[in-house]
Amino acid sequence: MNDYKYYLDNGIFDIQNGRFEQGIENINKSLELKKDWEIPYFYRGVANQALENFDEAMLDYTKSIQLNEKMTDAYYNRARIILTRKDIENPDIEKAVKDLEKALNLDDKFIDALFAMAAAQKKIGNYHKALEHLEKLLEIEPDAVHARALKKLILQKYIV
């Protein structure tokens, strides 16, 4: 079988069903046949992120973005890795902010990116910017419990 799409479809199906290693194998077969397409790199990044192979996931998301700079979710996922990794002492929050800015430029109603941006801004002490992103998120999704909680925390603890 030398149909790159067949292997990609099977890989995506595997990943969506939690079979990450199997998904990576199928995607690797797809990439052996066609390397110049962002989708397999993105999904392999998703699988690697789920397996906590964060460095590999970052490389895959970066390759996906190099092939298509409109990969909103790749920017978001890359930022999420930076913001949530526990094995890096001083993560590059500014790099995460840049990725989130790209994601939000591509989709200004991307709720998860708005929340991640607020959290990133809070981490670097930009409390008013964090609140701006939370306000925008709450305009779109008024019942966003985590956004309300973070807003309350920032207002009570950091803005006097």
Distance (Å, rounded) from C-alpha 62 to C-alpha 78? Answer: 8
For the chain, domain boundaries: 1-68, 94-160
Do 1-68 and 94-160 share a fold? yes
Q: How many CB atoms lie within 10 A of CB 87?
A: 7
C-alpha closest to that of 81 among 72, 71, 70, 92: 92
pLDDT score of 88: 82
User: Does domain 1-68 match CATH 1.10.240.10?
Assistant: no
Task: Pull the structure tokens for residue 153.
Answer: 């925390």
pLDDT score of 44: 98
pLDDT score of 150: 96
CATH superfamily assigned to domain 94-160? Tetratricopeptide repeat domain (1.25.40.10)
Distance (Å, rounded) from C-alpha 134 to C-alpha 139? Answer: 9
Please list the pLDDT of the chain residue by residue as tens digits (160 residues).
569 999 999 999 999 999 999 999 999 999 999 999 999 999 999 999 999 999 999 999 999 999 999 999 999 999 999 999 888 888 899 999 999 999 999 999 999 999 999 999 999 999 999 999 999 999 999 999 999 999 999 999 998 7
Q: What angle do CA 45, 136, 93 make, to 5 degrees?
A: 45
pLDDT score of 109: 96
Distance (Å, rounded) from C-alpha 125 to C-alpha 69? Answer: 29
- Do 31 and 63 form a contact (C-beta atoms < 8 A)? no
